[in-house]
Amino acid sequence: MVKITATISVYDENGKLEICRRAKSFVRAFVDILYAQSGNTTFSAPGVPDIGNITRRVTVDAGNLIGIGGAGNTNMGPVVGTGLNAVAMTDYELQTLITHGVGAGQLQYGATAYTESVTVGASRYFTIARTFTNASGGNITVNEVGLHLQGRQNVAPAGNYYFLAERTLLTFVINNGANKTVTYGIRITI
């Protein structure tokens, strides 16, 4: 039996692990984009809702499933929010995304970093990490974590669009002047 699992780890500014739990909530867009890519096809109507809740017809493309967001980019990579709504398969975005910046209630999104896949025992895995820095002047409570990935639509209007692939309710505080790193570990085990 092959299992695909994901974990979410939260590290403090000293690299100390604070939270590690299994991510259980891959949502519809992840499966639909994976279908289009692995099936060498275009996802037919009604399509896949992007993070703006606009339906897209995702097409097989080398640009699918990319999550390497640069510093300040909230469209790709790990993202955080303050929402508390239960996770649903139809979620297309975090309930309340924390925006990038240094103003009240904002966090600075660092660049997304991937580790190369490695094999350990009967598992193969890689990680996707992003550091969030709080320069807002107050403490910020994170209640939800998500993973944004890119999908490509080759029919009009053609372009790269961004989709919520995973959402998990996970509460932690980022104190003013501190940072936390959220790391997704994607693992396949035989």
**Tens digits of residue pLDDT in 107-163:** 999 999 999 999 999 889 999 999 999 999 999 999 999 999 999 888 888 899 999
pLDDT, tens only, 28-49: 899 888 888 888 887 766 788 9
Helix locations, 15-169, DSSP H: 28-38
Residue listed under structure tokens 């997704």: 184
- Mean pLDDT along residues 172-177: 96
Rounded Cα gap, residues 109 and 94, in angstroms? 15
Domain extents for the chain?
3-189
Torsion sign across C-alpha atoms 156, 160, 161, 163: positive
Share of the chain above pLDDT 70, in %: 97
Residue of 143, 46, 146, 43 whose CA lies nearest to 92: 146
Model confidence at 60, in pLDDT bands (50, 70, 90)?
Answer: confident
